[in-house]
Amino acid sequence: MRKSISFFLLGVFLSVYSINAQARKEFVEKTNRDIDKSGKVISPDLFGLFFEDINYSADGGLYAEQVQNRSFEYNPTERKDWNPFSYWEYITTGYSYGRISVETKSPIHPNNPHYMVIDIEHVGKEAKFTGESGVGLKNPGFGGIVVRSGQKYNFSVFAQQLSDAPIVLSINLQNRKGEVLASSSIATSSRNWQKYTATLTATASCDTSSLVVLAKTEGKIALDVVSLFPEKTFKNRPNGLRADLAQMLADMKPHFIRFPGGCLSHGDGLGNMYRWKNTIGPIEERKEQRNIWGYNQTAGLGYYEYFQFCEDIGAKPLPVLPAAVSCQNTGGTWQLGGIGQKAIPMDEMKDYIQEVLDLIEWANGPVTSTWGAKRAAAGHPASFQLQYVGIGNEDNITPQFEERFKLIFDAVKAKHPEITVVGTVGPAPDGDDFTKGWKIANELKVPVVDEHYYTSPEWFIANQHRYDKYARNATRVYLGEYASWGNKLRNAIAEAAYMTSLERNGDVVRMASYAPLLAKKNFTQWNPDMIYFDNVKICLTPNYYVQKMFSANQGNLYFDKVISKNEKDSTLAASCVQDAKTGDIILKMVNFGKESNPMKVNLGSFKKIVSVAEQTVLAGKGDDENTLENTQKIVPTKSVIKVSKTFEYAVPAMSLTVIRIKTSKK
Ligand code: AHR
């Protein structure tokens, strides 16, 4: 018995050793650098982002569309007082009159059934008294459209001329007094649905403008997908992202992005699951649907845009598809303990599995394949290099879940052994679902599973050794959602301490992402979040800065024994990694305590270090926090410091310090 245990341990040692040796060889070959030999190889994808359209993160947030209810698809299942007219004000100017109606007889596409018809009976000729005359619509955007003087805005609309003569539409942006800030016009030229575009250049700035579309010709016209984007989106992508918000995410240098949820993925009942095929292709053909968080999702920020954003910022995409079951909280049953899970009938599973496989073909397949061709038609012939696919989101591990997960997992493994499937182990760090989920993962040899926990800062401090005890060379962990309850510095520093333990266990923990990511002021369903914003400002929380300090300073090799500290004091934490690309050594030192505390650094095992290093410190009082009114209360400070092979560093009370040290080839 003892002999077989020691053979087993020897086998484990050899396979770990060979992974280490192989990975190190690759680093050296790739970087032509002498990477230190004593480090442990850790995940190259450790820190990334989790994006979910919660708190108006996408529509009204990161997605730069300015028009709210652009396709007249809002309805009472999303919010009781919503309907296709919501956020559209009927306007008549200059003694003009007419009527509007929402119709469904001949839509642009069956996925986009509603459109607005304007019947312009009379256009007043009294314009000299009243300004422009006409009949039309006004949209306030998501709490006001932000316009900046000198900037351009791209307007587009689908229109169908329903009367004989062309209809002239005046397009303008107005402030609350009705003063025009930008204007243009278009004239219809077809009795079929046709897209018209115009560029508006603002002559003044305003944070609360509205878009006005005014028909100036008597007749009848149908309108749909009324859209306005700033010309300057992130990377100037059409149908793109709000540049300032996207830049904050790019600055974190995340190694992956998980999307589109969260609960949004598996949905509020089977009819509300996020089906990726409804979110690609021309925006006028995408299917809007109720957002599980109580509003509408246009799917304008759909799978194509998610993948493109990942590529734009050098992050690996991690799409999460439902495991063919809906959220257990469906129908609000979280109040009853989450008993609302519904499953796709078994006789529909073949099609559902095909949908999962089609995603892989869409992302990676050649342009000659059915789905690869659709990716190419959208403007991306090259593969998106999809490596990870998530199946399920913190589902209740019921027999119906297990049966379906296994079918999907086996199918992906058989057809795409190159894909790493990320499974799920329930919504908590322990308990029944967690145990059952891990049992399935071990039996099926699922490569990675997704753990979630939202808890107190004290829990994070007390549980820093959680992953030290996990089996090596078994299923890896993706800590897909975690946060301590709050946005004060103490919360962020507790998370920082925990993140050093994720680095230490980077051989077991494959990925980790804080949650939720974004929240719009006054439209927030979940607190705390990493970044708060309104239409103009962005508030970066201490939690954001901690995430950024780790994410932008990831390594591939982990070294213990470089930093020594009082091991009995759990308020102190530290880690040392080396980045294979640059050869930089990165030290992270955390103090959750009330007093400054010394740590000793010994870089003796590294060959050549450059003595001038870059230091970033996030420190303050435990209760410090940023708000949209005061975004600068707690921000990291950067400085250049001198380091030597051995030195002592007094880690400030309630702080995270990152020291980045260059190594030299000579
Ligand atoms: O991050 C917010 C929510 O928390 C996610 O949608 C869900 O997965 C978890 O319960």
Q: Which among 51, 52, 264 is the best mutation to test ligand 1's pocket, defined by most ligand atoms within 8 Å of the CB?
A: 52
Q: What is the 3-state secondary structure (H, E, C) of 185-197?
A: EEECCCCCCEEEE
What pLDDT score was predicted for residue 21? 64
What pLDDT score was predicted for residue 35? 64
Q: How far is CA 390 from CA 359, 425, 451, in A?
A: 12, 12, 12
Nearest CA, atom 6, ligand 1: 262
What pLDDT score was predicted for residue 552? 98
Average pLDDT over residues 427-441: 98
Q: How many CB atoms lie within 10 A of CB 435?
A: 12
pLDDT digits (tens, 9 = 90+) for 495-504: 999 999 999 9
Average pLDDT over residues 380-396: 98
What pLDDT score was predicted for residue 13? 36
Q: How far is CA 311 from CA 32, 45, 500, in A?
A: 26, 15, 27
pLDDT digits (tens, 9 = 90+) for 249-281: 999 999 999 999 999 999 999 999 999 999 999
Q: Ligand 1 atom closest to Cα of 50?
A: 1
Q: What does the block give as tokens for 65?
A: 């569309």
What's the 630 CA to ligand 1 centre distance in angstroms?
Answer: 28
Residues with catalytic annotation?
394
What's the 263 CA to ligand 1 centre distance in angstroms?
Answer: 6
Q: Ligand 1 atom closest to Cα of 481?
A: 1
Average pLDDT over residues 163-175: 97
What pLDDT score was predicted for residue 3? 35
What's the 34 CA to ligand 1 centre distance in angstroms?
Answer: 43
292 or 129, greater pLDDT: 292
> If you average pLDDT over every residue of the chain, what do you get?
94
Question: Which residue has tokens 């919503």?
Answer: 82
Return the sign of the alpha-carbon dihedral for residues 140, 146, 150, 151.
negative
d(CA 463, CA 351): 42
Q: Pairing state of beta strands 40-41 and 557-558?
A: antiparallel
What's the 452 CA to ligand 1 centre distance in angstroms?
Answer: 8
Nearest CA, atom 3, ligand 1: 262
- Cβ-in-10-Å burial (0-12, 13-18, 19+) of 379 comes to exposed
Q: Band of the pLDDT at 24, cuts 50, 70, 90?
A: low
What pLDDT score was predicted for residue 33? 58
Nearest CA, atom 4, ligand 1: 262
Q: Band of the pLDDT at 22, cuts 50, 70, 90?
A: low
Q: How far is CA 435 from CA 325, 438, 555, in A?
A: 19, 5, 31
- Residue 78 CB partners (closer than 8 Å, separation 6+): 290, 291, 294, 295, 296
Q: What does the block give as tokens for 356?
A: 């999962």
pLDDT digits (tens, 9 = 90+) for 318-343: 999 999 999 999 999 999 999 999 99
d(CA 270, CA 263): 12
Nearest CA, atom 9, ligand 1: 262
Nearest CA, atom 8, ligand 1: 262
d(CA 540, CA 636): 11
Find out whether 51 and 258 touch, Cβ atoms under 8 Å. Answer: yes
Q: Ligand 1 atom closest to Cα of 454?
A: 4
Average pLDDT over residues 483-492: 98
What pLDDT score was predicted for residue 125? 82
Q: Ligand 1 atom closest to Cα of 393?
A: 8
What's the 439 CA to ligand 1 centre distance in angstroms?
Answer: 23
Nearest CA, atom 2, ligand 1: 516
What pLDDT score was predicted for residue 2? 36
pTM > 0.85: yes
Residue 28 has pLDDT above 70, yes or no: no
What b/e readout covers 313-348, taking b as 16+ CB neighbours within 10 angstroms?
Answer: bebbbbbbbbbbbbbbbbeeeeeeebebbbbbeeee
What pLDDT score was predicted for residue 32? 54
- Residue 66 CB partners (closer than 8 Å, separation 6+): 141, 142, 145, 146, 153, 211, 227, 228, 229, 230
Question: Which residue has tokens 């954001």?
Answer: 544
d(CA 314, CA 337): 40
Q: What does the block give as tokens for 656?
A: 């995270």
What's the 265 CA to ligand 1 centre distance in angstroms?
Answer: 10
Average pLDDT over residues 386-395: 98
d(CA 536, CA 512): 30
pLDDT digits (tens, 9 = 90+) for 576-618: 999 988 999 999 999 999 999 999 999 998 888 999 999 999 9
What pLDDT score was predicted for residue 314? 98
Q: Ligand 1 atom closest to Cα of 516?
A: 1
Q: What does the block give as tokens for 417?
A: 């052994």
What's the 453 CA to ligand 1 centre distance in angstroms?
Answer: 9
Q: Ligand 1 atom closest to Cα of 263?
A: 6
Average pLDDT over residues 393-406: 98
Q: Which among 53, 263, 514 is the best mutation to test ligand 1's pocket, defined by most ligand atoms within 8 Å of the CB?
A: 263
Residue 9 has pLDDT above 50, yes or no: no
Nearest CA, atom 1, ligand 1: 516
Q: Ligand 1 atom closest to Cα of 264?
A: 6
Return the SS3 of 581.
Answer: coil
Query: Ligand 1: which residues within 6 Å by Cβ?
Result: 52, 54, 261-263, 393-394, 427, 452, 481, 515-516, 526
Q: How many CB atoms lie within 10 A of CB 597?
A: 21
Q: Band of the pLDDT at 23, cuts 50, 70, 90?
A: low
Q: Residue 545 phi/psi, 5° resolution?
A: -65, -40
- Cβ-in-10-Å burial (0-12, 13-18, 19+) of 32 comes to exposed
Give the number of C-alpha atoms closer than 13 A to the C-alpha of residue 56, restricted to the C-beta side: 19
Q: How many CB atoms lie within 10 A of CB 190?
A: 11
d(CA 233, CA 238): 7
Percentage of the chain exceeding pLDDT 70: 93
What's the 264 CA to ligand 1 centre distance in angstroms?
Answer: 8
Q: How far is CA 123 from CA 95, 120, 132, 166, 382, in A?
A: 7, 7, 10, 14, 51
Residue 20 has pLDDT above 70, yes or no: no
Spatial CA neighbour of 53 closest among 482, 515, 538: 515
Residue 34 has pLDDT above 80, yes or no: no
At 104, which amino acid appears?
Answer: T
Looking at 173-294, list the stretches that DSSP marks H as alpha helix, in order from N- to C-terminal side: 243-250, 263-266
Return the SS3 of 662.
Answer: coil
Q: Band of the pLDDT at 664, cuts 50, 70, 90?
A: confident
Average pLDDT over residues 418-426: 98
Q: Which among 49, 50, 54, 341 is the best mutation to test ligand 1's pocket, defined by most ligand atoms within 8 Å of the CB?
A: 54
What's the 262 CA to ligand 1 centre distance in angstroms?
Answer: 5
Nearest CA, atom 5, ligand 1: 262
pLDDT digits (tens, 9 = 90+) for 85-142: 999 999 999 999 999 999 999 999 999 999 999 999 999 986 555 568 999 999 999 9
Residue 27 has pLDDT above 70, yes or no: no
